Structure 1
Amino acid sequence: MSEKALRDHNTLPGSDRKPESTNKGTLMNNCTENVTENLEERQRINSASLVSTPANGNAPINCGGEVGTSEIEYIDSEKLTDVEDVDIALKTLLAGLDSKDWLLVCDTLNNARRLALFHKEVMLDVVGDVIAFLVKSLKNPRSAVCKTGIMTSTDIFHAYNDQLIDFLDPLLVQLLLKSSQDKKFVCEAAEKALVAMTSSVSPTLLLPKLQPHLKHRNPRIRAKASVCFCRSVLRLGIEGIKTYGIDKLIQTAASQLSDQLPESREAARTLLLELQTVYEKSHDPAPSSSDPPETSSWENFCQLNLSPLNAQAVLRVTNAAREGFVLGS
């Protein structure tokens, strides 16, 4: 190229060279946008991947890609089918419950439910270890694992009853916590598990386990424990309540009567009315007795066993119920 041509080229105005630069920038931007769109599309596909459960209730299946928003089917107890191979299910049980794959954990929890319902004898030797993993699943931040673990607790309560008492404490704490939280579907499952517990475990064994939680610093946990305590006492029956001690029970109920939450206070009122009925049936003075009726009255019993303020509160509740009954009749 001649010297003149080079000189002419170098003296071209900057504005004449801009279209070339602009075209290159546009091309690069288009390429970047296409790559971004492709990435976003792949992310949308992955996020849309669901975990489906076959109709036969077997393990959830990952339908492709990294699971973003996942759904699993929660199988009701009456819809659970038996395991295909008991030996394999039992052999892989603890390892599956300890897995880092949450889908495998949910699948194994359902197998634990099947074993409890259909083959409870074969799992009895490891039920303590199973409950330890249940507690771990209830602490899991993933709601699917938590709820499946709670449903497993329900089936295990129904299957093993009093055989769980030595392993109950950590599981009870978690169920009380989950029944008092804000996630409705987890809360409802936990309340169902607590009902299964109070209907399956003997009251004489369960009441001492519940007693400490009546003084928990969290009022919602106290309320759930109060409901369980009341429900368990009602299962004792008249003779069981007398044996356990009406004096001890009335002190517990009176302490809950002024609790923060209405759920706890209502449980205390229900318990006090039951205690009053049992007391009056068992202290009905005989016609030949020389003792004046007031010495064995419900009012006298409350005043002897409670502080003046608590006795007044208890009598206010029970007298109001009695007056309401008389007016209603």
Structure 2
Amino acid sequence: MSPVAVAAAELAMEYVRSKDLQPVPALKACVTGLVMGLDSKDWVKVCEAHNDDRRLAIHHPALLAPILTEKVVLGIMKTTKNPCNKVLKTFVMAFPDVFASFGNLISSASADTFDKLLLKASQDNQFVCEEAEKAMRATATSMPPCPC
């Protein structure tokens, strides 16, 4: 991407609060685009895919469930290796929305891994740190009580 295109993409990048995410109009295309977006090398497409997985988790969880562990979780894991802080912040914002809808489907091993990933994301910089703290709080409130 040229420097001008990167600058334009950064300006266009929005961080949408969960309550402001709208339902997806073209569901089938969104699910297909989500899988391709999470696997993209273009960070803008990865960010868009994370916003789509948030929308699907909130408004259409039944459509996200079949690809959750095989595609979405792997895409999220790949995101944590991305050096772009905008991608990390978008991942951190997506995590509580997906976890709130599917915490019961994510194995405890995956949940432990996500905790480590959030910790990693929170150590990058203040831009990501603030969102990581919000994500950890939101995730903690959606977790079921310990069966101790």
TM-score (norm: length of structure 2): 0.86
2:51 aligns with 110
1:194 corresponds to which of 108, 129, 136: 136
For 1:83, the equivalent position in structure 2 comes to: 24
- Aligned-residue offset at 1:91: 2.1
Instruction: Give the Å deviation of 1:165.
Output: 3.1
* Cα distance change, pair 89–176 in 1 and its aligned pair in 2 (3 A): same
Secondary structure of the residue aligned to 1:162 is coil
Aligned-residue sequence identity (percent) comes to 34
Higher relative contact order (CA 8 A, sep 6+): 2
Indicate conservation of the 8 Å contact 1:139/1:174, yes or no. Answer: no
Tell me how far apart the structure 2 counterparts of residues 47 and 107 of structure 1 sit (CA, whole Å): 16
| Alignment of 1:73 onto 2:14 | yes
Structure 1, unpaired ranges of 5+: 1-42, 52-69, 205-239, 245-329
What is the CA-CA distance between 1:152 and the residue it aligns to? 0.7
Which residue in 1 is equivalent to 2:40?
A: 99
Aligned twin of 2:94? 152
Residues 1:132 and 2:90 aligned together: no
Stretches of 4+ aligned residues off by more than 6 angstroms: none
Is 1:171 equivalent to 2:129 in the alignment? Answer: no
Q: How many residues align?
A: 144
Q: Report the CA distance between 1:146 and its aligned residue.
A: 0.7
C-alpha change, 1:183 and 1:84, in structure 2 (3 Å) is: same
Query: How far did residue 182 of structure 1 move?
Result: 4.8
RMSD value, Cα: 2.1
Gaps of 5+ in 2: none
Task: Please state how far the C-alpha of 1:48 moved relative to its aligned partner.
Answer: 8.6
Q: CA deviation at 1:163?
A: 2.1
